[in-house]
Amino acid sequence: MRHMILKAVSAAGAAVVLTGGSAYGQVWDMPMAYAATNFHSVTGAEFAKCVTTGTGGDIEVVTHPSGSLFKGADIKRAIQTGQVPIGERLLSGNQNENPIFGIDSVPFLATSFEDAAKLWEATKPTMTKILDEQNMVLLYSVPWPPQGLYFKKEVDSVADMKGIKFRSYNAATARLAELSGMLPVSIEAAEISQAFATGVADSMISSGATGYDRKVWESLSYFYEVDAWLPRNYIMANKDAWNDTTEANQNVIRACAGLAEYAGNWRAVEYTQFTLRGLRDGGMTVGPASEQLTADLRAIGETMTAEWLEKAGPEGQAIVEAYKAMK
């Protein structure tokens, strides 16, 4: 890995020499859905600085966190249609468009960073092809920490979850709510704090990072470490904008993307325990789910996995088989 980083840095440096400086470069606005302090946004800001510096100012990437330019649900379409040249999106939010976008949210398929990396390796060629067909270029992807369950009250089984208003952010979370008897409410990341404070939602499945960033301890009391899945954020460029970029600058962007993916993965791992401590310090009860709740969730996971495989067809089955062969 160290060799790969040094190689990427060298490539970026060489590209800087090739491109030279320019005081009249393009501005690439980069919408992002999460708070500026979130590790994904921090990684994106470093990537933006790397590209701006590496291209000698030919391309200035400017990040717009917290859904300030486009809401999370609108970011992919904005990139695809050329409203912005680059952006970050949780692609599982577009699973209804293509089941492959939701492979990182199949419950209990990949529950650790190591397995998530293998699943990504198996998925990347297909994902790259799909995005290319949709007029986008995949640059890099970073996982979230493992997903856990947040509640206002203590929950020991799926039966205890019936009727609870549950924040959903993709098809998988909406289906989880349906199978567990909860009531799904679609809420963007930037709206989480307000939703819990006003009672629009009383629970969610998300990482410790999201809860920490949004100070959910002000409204919620329990976080159960169920490690259901590790969803991913994706940074994508509009293909037309990409094709209008010089080869030298493309090399810089690719090098910066490689560095960002490495840094983002490292941050995700380090941020996991830090944010769980932060939830505890905020007054939340943090720990593993009960045996009954774990068994109930595993049963739901089996149903959701079978449903996903049916929708994804041979393409999805091939990815899962390739992933399992790596384990």
pLDDT in tens, 102-135: 999 999 999 999 999 999 999 999 999 999 999 9
Residue 221 phi, psi dihedral angles, 5° rounding: -125, -20
Domains within the chain, CATH numbers bracketed: 2-144+231-273 (3.40.190.170), 148-228+285-326 (3.40.190.170)
pLDDT in tens, 214-267: 999 999 999 999 999 999 999 999 999 999 999 999 999 999 999 999 999 999
pLDDT at 68: 96
Closest CA to 233 of 112, 158, 138, 303: 138
Contact of 195 with 209, CB cutoff 8 Å: no
Around Cβ 325, how many Cβ atoms within 10 Å?
9
pLDDT in tens, 61-95: 999 999 999 999 999 999 999 999 999 999 999 99
Q: What does the radius of gyration of the chain's CA atoms come to, in whole angstroms? A: 20
Percent of the chain with pLDDT strictly greater than 70: 93
pLDDT at 25: 85
pLDDT in tens, 141-171: 999 999 999 999 999 999 999 999 999 999 9
Q: Are strands 183-186 and 165-168 parallel, antiparallel or unpaired?
A: parallel
pLDDT in tens, 36-70: 999 999 999 999 999 999 999 999 999 999 999 99
**Residue 1 predicted with pLDDT over 80:** no
* DSSP-assigned states of every residue in 202-248: SEEEE-HHHHHHTTGGGT--EEE-------EEEEEEEHHHHHTS-HH
